[in-house]
Amino acid sequence: MHTTINRNNGDLFMEDIALNDIADQFGTPCYVYSKRAIELNYDAYVAAMGDYPHLVCYAVKSNSNIAVLQTLAALGAGFDIVSIGELERVLMAGGDPNKVVFSGLAKTADEMSRALEVGIHCFNIESESELVLLNATAASLSVNAPVSIRVNPDVDAKTHPYISTGLKEDKFGIDINQALGVYERAAQMDNINLIGVDCHIGSQLTEVKPFLDAMARLLILVDQLSERDIPLAHIDIGGGLGVRYQDEQTLSVGDYMAELLPLLAQRGETLILEPGRSITANAGVLLTHVQYLKSNDHKNFAIVNAAMNDMLRPSLYQAWMDIQPISTHPDREERIYDVVGPVCESGDFLGKDRILSISEGDCLCLFSAGSYGFVMSSNYNSRPRVAEIMVAGEQVHLIRQRETLRDLVRGEQLLPVN
Ligand code: LLP
């Protein structure tokens, strides 16, 4: 996974830009993304696939800013979406609808109609009821819907339980043991065109084995289907490749494909991937200022201006994300801090027990924040959502304005006064 962040004479730079300059110009908290890092991470996928027929569908949910999507669309990326909101973003960013796969377990008839109207590549279907609705929706538009069934292969992704999705107890997909029957019934539906199979077993995977186990199970199913005259054109193994937040031994895209592609040798189905985190996580940071320092007998607290509403991962998953000052000050006293935000919840922290040499007013950088950062942010505690910035070489672009107090109450209405 590529990053374009370096420390130079004590100051952090992203590409050619000092992060200090961004903090000065745009204020904090703000998310900053590197265009180059996103491009390099996407290119690594394409390179790792070599000549094998493939489609890399970036998981929009991981970072859906339209400038990020535009960057990937310009490289020819496909997109994995989970809502019509994400589809409209992809279209706005110049993405090709024909390279869109539509995941998610509760698609509505309206969402299906819109996706059929723009001609997406495939619907990843998660239940028989959804299949029935899609068939009816396609019939009402006199079209056929391209379909893949998302199967749950029952493999343990060995990741955090909240981001593991391929076990029997998870809500996702159709049990692989029921899949054959569902395909056979789908094959009888007039407006369903079966073109693929998919799975997504979890996120932040650092081992290749769960992916290989899942693929092996999918291949058995694909062969059984082909014996029953239901040939499939693609196999979609989902996303999930992990990135380094701390010192994890991660799997490179090259190593992943070097193990996965041999399973597909002599077959020819197109391989679809749905990576999110491995494209954007290490391409982004969150900048935040230290507002106050305070200590008691037990602890030192660095109270910063970013909170769990801006970056939820540490609070929700106990995720460890690196925190460093954007300019080092070796003269300052080194202490162990809990880095906490202004939100009124004890669970509001960005990091615990971090060794830092900092003073009030310093700017900190939270690393690997390009995925599942801004997209999971909220207005909790009536905090406006922060600005997003994209660095491209020597250029800096504001790609989302900081929300204003007026934005906070947009759409709200006082009751009439009698
Ligand atoms: N495809 C499907 C169907 C998914 O559900 C997901 C992620 C992906 C692809 C992309 O997975 P990735 O390559 O990014 O691992 N908010 C959590 C992660 C939730 C992942 C949800 N699904 C976090 O911050 O760790």
* Reported confidence tier of residue 156, pLDDT bands at 50, 70, 90: confident
Rounded-to-integer distance, Cα 109 and Cα 104, Å: 13
Q: Is the pLDDT of residue 6 over 70?
A: yes
What pLDDT score was predicted for residue 152? 93
Strand partners, 13: 6, 18
Whether residue 283 contacts residue 38, with contact meaning beta carbons closer than 8 Å, is answered with yes
* Entry pTM: 0.97
**Amino acid in position 83:** S
* 122 labelled catalytic: no
Please state the atom number of ligand 1 nearest to the C-alpha of residue 242: 15
Mean pLDDT to the nearest integer, 295-314: 97
- Which of the four pLDDT bands, split at 50, 70 and 90, describes residue 162? low
Atom number, ligand 1, closest to the C-alpha of residue 376: 16
Q: Would you say the CB of residue 276 lies under 6 angstroms from ligand 1?
A: yes
Atom number in ligand 1 closest to CA 104: 3
- Please name the amino acid found at residue 24: D
Q: Check 57, 344, 363, 365 and give the catalytic one.
A: 344
Domain locations in the chain as residue ranges:
5-33+281-408, 36-279
Q: Would you state the pLDDT for residue 254? A: 97
Distance between Cα 238 and ligand 1 center (Å): 9
Q: Phi/psi of residue 183, each to 5°? A: -60, -40
3-state SS string for the chain: CCCCEEEECCEEEECCEEHHHHHHHHCCCEEEEEHHHHHHHHHHHHHHHCCCCEEEEEEHHHCCCHHHHHHHHHCCCEEEECCHHHHHHHHHCCCCHHHEEECCCCCCHHHHHHHHHHCCCEEEECCHHHHHHHHHHHHHCCCCEEEEEEEECCCCCCCCHHHECCCCCCCCCEEHHHHHHHHHHHHCCCCEEEEEEECCCECCECCCHHHHHHHHHHHHHHHHHHHCCCCCCEEECCCCECCCCCCCCCCCHHHHHHHHHHHHCCCCCEEEECCCHHHHHHHEEEEEEEEEEEECCCCEEEEECCCCCCCCHHHHHCCCCCEEECECCCCCCEEEEEEECCCCCCCCEEEEEEEEECCCCCEEEECCCCCCCHHHCCCHHHCCCCEEEEEECCEEEEEECCCCHHHHCCCCCCCCCC
| Res. 23: pLDDT tops 90 | yes
Percent pLDDT > 90 in the chain is: 94
Question: Distance between terminal CA atoms of the chain?
Answer: 61
Cis peptide upstream of residue 330 (ω within 30 degrees of 0): no
pLDDT at site 26: 98
> Taking CA 162 as the corner, what is the angle to CA 160 and CA 168, rounded to the nearest 5 degrees?
95
Of the pLDDT bands very low, low, confident and very high (cuts 50, 70, 90), residue 1 is: low
Is the CA virtual torsion 196, 201, 203, 207 positive or negative? negative
Token couple for 59? 């998981």
- Please determine, for residue 95, whether its predicted confidence score (pLDDT) is greater than 80: yes
pLDDT tens-digit map of 99-122: 999 999 999 999 999 999 999 999
Q: Which of 266, 267, 265, 278 is nearest to 238 (CA)?
A: 278
- How crowded is the C-beta side of 214, counted as CA atoms within 13 Å? 32
- Does the C-beta of 103 come closer than 6 Å to ligand 1? yes
Q: Is the CB of 278 under 6 A from ligand 1?
A: yes
Q: Kindly give the pairing relationship between strand 145-152 and strand 192-198.
A: parallel
Nearest CA to ligand 1 atom 16: 372
Tell me the pLDDT tens digit for each residue of 197-244: 999 999 999 999 999 999 999 999 999 999 999 999 999 999 999 999
**Quick one: which atom of ligand 1 is closest to the CA of 281?**
14
Write down the CATH number for the domain with range 5-33+281-408: 2.40.37.10
C-alpha 35 – ligand 1 centre gap (Å): 21
CA angle 337, 338, 342 (to 5 degrees): 125
Ligand 1 centroid to residue 240 C-alpha, Å: 6
CB of 275 within 6 A of ligand 1: the answer is yes
Pick from 317, 373, 394: which is nearest to 68 by CA?
373
- Does the structural domain 36-279 have CATH classification 3.20.20.10? yes
Amino acid at 19: L
